[in-house]
Every structure is written in C-alpha cells, then in structure tokens.
Amino acid sequence: MQEEKGISKKPRRRIQMTTSKAYSETLTVGDKLWGQTTLEGNRGELIKKTYLLLGLSVISSLVGGVIGANSPTLVHLFSGWLGWILALVLLNGIPQIALSVRDNPVLGLAALVADGFVSGLVLAPILQLASVVAPDLVPTALILTAVVFVGVTGYVMTVRKTFSAPRGLMIGIFFSTIGVMILNTFLHLGILGMLIAGAIGVFGVLILVHATSEALHSPEADSPIAGALMLFAGLFNVFVAALDILLRLEQSDE
C-alpha cells in the first residue's frame, strides 16, 4: 500500500494510562488472574455499579475519539511533542482529580466522563492515520475491545457471592474467539490474522480480569467512580495496543 500524501510515518509514541498504586499490594499477579474473591458486604453491588460507570467512560471516549480524529487542529496538536506531554498530563491528572472527588456523585461522574472524553481526544493522530492507511483497522480494534468488555461485563453482572478470575477469563476468551470469527467473516483475516487478533483478545481479557481483581482488593476502589477509573485505564490500554499492533502489521505489508 502506497503512503498517503500528508500522512506522517514518524514513529508513534505509545500513550498509556496509569492508575495510582498507593495501596498495599497483597496479591500476586497469579492470585489476581487465577484466584477467587468473596464479595463481602456491598462489594458485589459496588463492582456492578463500577462496570455500569465503565460503560459511560467507554461511550464518552468514543465521542472524544470521533471528534478528535475529525479535527485537523487536534490531530496536529497531539502529533507533536507538546501535545504528547499534554496528553500524559491529562491522562494522569484527570483521574487524580476524579479520585479526589469520588465521594461527590455529581463531580465524580463529571470527572469520570471527562476522563473518557479526553482519552478519546488524545488518540486523534493514530485514529486519523489508521482511518487513512486502512479504514478497517479502527473498527477491528473497537470490536476486539468491545467483545472483551462485553464478555467480562456479562460475567460480572451475574456474580453473586464470589468473583472467580478463572471463570471470567474463560468467558472473556470465549467471547473473544466468537469476535475473531465474526471479524474473519467480514474482513477475511486469514489464519495468521485470526491468530494475531485472537492473541490481542486474550491479552485484553487478561488485562481486564486482572484490573477487576485489583479493584476488588484495592482500598482506593471504595466507590464505583474509583473502580471505573482503574478498569477504564486497562481497557484504554487494550484498545491502544490492539490498534497499534494492527497498524504496524498493516504498514509492514506495504
């Protein structure tokens, strides 16, 4: 595929969202991925509300992404070093503000939605590049992320007394497999493409289940706002990783 006029081939700087780790980490990675958590008190209801708020973050990030990708000004801004530094400040600063007002339903929700919206805006350059290089890339990354979200969310919403990380993994991987099969039907990925997409899906499930276990054991995740921030950070990184990998593979075939 020939390089489109005006589209920069500069190395893409990877934007990742981080969450605060100012709490005691008593569980290992293995515990978070293979263990079980008893949902004592209102913990079960809390994690369900957390996932509902996570859905709002995802929707607001989609709106931000559409606006950013269609704004030449934002694409130009976040393509440079100044925009990259601004993105890092925003992606780490807004969650801290949201955490500080998490006990205020109105301000906390507003900060959570703002976090999702800004997260979509800062992806403007890579979304715009992907839409020109290969229009199917963004929908593919969105579908992979969506099936991971739907699979794990569906399990969380049915949990009553115990959250089982292995069961969440199995359900998430099952949904990811179905998603890859659907993608192959429309995009004809081929064997290698299906394997790569499947690997991205499994990686996404691992990230989200790990983040869910972390939220269930974190003293900071004492409200749905705080938990949703932690989970959105993981889901955001899954989408960025999926899009980045697919875009690099597409460009390597040119």
Cβ-based neighbour number of residue 235 at 10 Å:
25
- Among residues 152, 160, 155, 165, the alpha carbon closest in space to that of 40 is found at 160
User: Residue 37: phi, psi to the nearest 5?
Assistant: -125, 125
b (16+ CB within 10 A) / e for 32-42: bbeeebebeee
One digit per residue, the tens of pLDDT, for the chain of length 254 reads 444 444 444 444 455 554 444 433 556 666 666 777 777 767 778 888 888 898 899 999 999 999 998 899 999 988 888 888 998 898 889 988 988 888 888 898 999 999 999 999 999 988 888 888 777 778 877 888 888 888 888 888 888 778 888 888 888 888 888 878 877 777 666 777 777 777 877 877 888 887 788 777 776 667 888 888 888 888 888 888 777 777 777 666 55
pTM for this prediction:
0.74
DSSP for residue 101: T
> For residue 171, how many C-alpha atoms fall within 13 Å in the half-sphere facing its CB?
19
DSSP for residue 103: T
Residue 117: its pLDDT value, please?
95
DSSP for residue 11: P
Residue 9: its pLDDT value, please?
45
Residue 64: its pLDDT value, please?
92
Residue 112: its pLDDT value, please?
92
